Amino acid sequence: MLKNYDIVIIGASAAGITAGLTARKYYPQKSIICITDVSKVPIPCGIPYVFGTIGDAMKNLIPVENMCKANNIDLVNDKVIKINREFKLVLLESNESYGYQKLVIANGSNPIIPTIEGTSLENVFMIRKDPSYLTTMMKQIDESKKIVIIGGGFIGAEMAEECRKRRLEIEITIIEMQQHCLQLVYDEEFTILAEKALIDQKINLLTQEKVKKLVGHKAVEQVILESGKIVEADMVLLCIGCSANISLAQEAGLRIGPTRGILVDSYMRTSDTDIFACGDVCEKVSFFDQKPSNLKLASIATAEARIAGRNLFENKRKMEGVIGCFSTALGGLAFCAAGLTESQATAKGFEVVCGVGESVNRHPGLMPGAGNMKVKLIFNKKDTALIGAEIFGAISGGELINALSVCISQKITAENLVTFQAATHPALTASPIAYQLVNAAEMACVKLN
Which amino acid appears at position 110 of this protein? N
Structure confidence at residue 39 (pLDDT): 87
Are residues 264 and 92 in contact, defined by beta-carbon separation less than 8 angstroms? Answer: no
**Distance in angstroms (rounded) separating the CA atoms of residues 2 and 90:** 10
Given a cut of 80, is residue 97 above it in pLDDT? yes
Given a cut of 90, is residue 400 above it in pLDDT? yes
Helices (H), 167-297: 188-199, 247-251
- CATH node for 332-448: 3.30.390.30
Structure confidence at residue 320 (pLDDT): 96
Given a cut of 90, is residue 246 above it in pLDDT? yes
Q: β-strand 372-380 against 325-330: which pairing, if any?
A: unpaired
Structure confidence at residue 21 (pLDDT): 98
Structure confidence at residue 188 (pLDDT): 96
Give the mean model confidence (pLDDT) for residues 120-145. Answer: 96
Given a cut of 80, is residue 147 above it in pLDDT? yes
Structure confidence at residue 347 (pLDDT): 95
Domain boundaries, the chain: 2-110+243-311, 113-240, 332-448
Per cent of the chain over pLDDT 90 is 98
Structure confidence at residue 66 (pLDDT): 97
C-alpha pair distances (Å), 379 with each of 49, 188, 413: 34, 18, 8
109 Cβ contact partners less than 8 Å away, ≥ 6 residues apart: 242, 243, 244, 245, 280, 281, 296
212 falls in which pLDDT band (50, 70, 90)?
very high
2 Cβ contact partners less than 8 Å away, ≥ 6 residues apart: 89, 97, 98, 99
Do the domains spanning 2-110+243-311 and 113-240 agree at the CATH topology level?
yes
Q: Is the peptide bond before 131 cis (omega within 30 degrees of 0)?
A: no
Q: β-strand 32-36 against 109-111: which pairing, if any?
A: unpaired
Give the mean model confidence (pLDDT) for residues 126-152. Answer: 96
Structure confidence at residue 449 (pLDDT): 85
| Assigned architecture for domain 113-240 | 3-Layer(bba) Sandwich (3.50)
Given a cut of 90, is residue 423 above it in pLDDT? yes
**Distance in angstroms (rounded) separating the CA atoms of residues 49 and 159:** 8
Are residues 372 and 395 in contact, defined by beta-carbon separation less than 8 angstroms? Answer: no
Structure confidence at residue 137 (pLDDT): 97
Given a cut of 80, is residue 344 above it in pLDDT? yes
Structure confidence at residue 210 (pLDDT): 97
Q: β-strand 230-232 against 80-84: which pairing, if any?
A: unpaired
Give the mean model confidence (pLDDT) for residues 380-392. Answer: 98
**Distance in angstroms (rounded) separating the CA atoms of residues 7 and 30:** 7
225 Cβ contact partners less than 8 Å away, ≥ 6 residues apart: 175, 206, 209, 210, 211, 212, 231
SS3 of 136, please?
helix
229 falls in which pLDDT band (50, 70, 90)?
very high
- CATH node for 2-110+243-311: 3.50.50.60
